[in-house]
Amino acid sequence: MILALKIVLLLASIILIISILLQSSNSAGLSGSIGGGAEQLFGKKRSSGYDAILGKIATVTAILFIVISIIMVAVE
């Protein structure tokens, strides 16, 4: 059982890393924080396409990663 949990944990961590790295960035660095701060609060919704899917994948795999990690600590 521990081996199966370790394999699922490894797969979840790899998927989590890939899904986070493939997401587009939210700011343009220092100039984005100075000039576009209000735009992030009031404008620009996240697109409902590629970034939204990657965001959902990252959320699900992060929850899976945390739950499996807690189960593995509790079992051992």
The number of residues making up the chain comes to: 76
Check if the beta carbon of residue 19 is closer than 8 Å to that of residue 57.
yes
Is pTM, for the whole model, over 0.85? no
47-62, pLDDT tens digit by residue? 668 889 999 999 999 9
Helix ranges (DSSP H) in 1-76: 2-22, 30-35, 37-42, 50-75
15-69, pLDDT tens digit by residue? 999 999 998 876 655 655 565 555 555 555 556 688 899 999 999 999 999 999 9
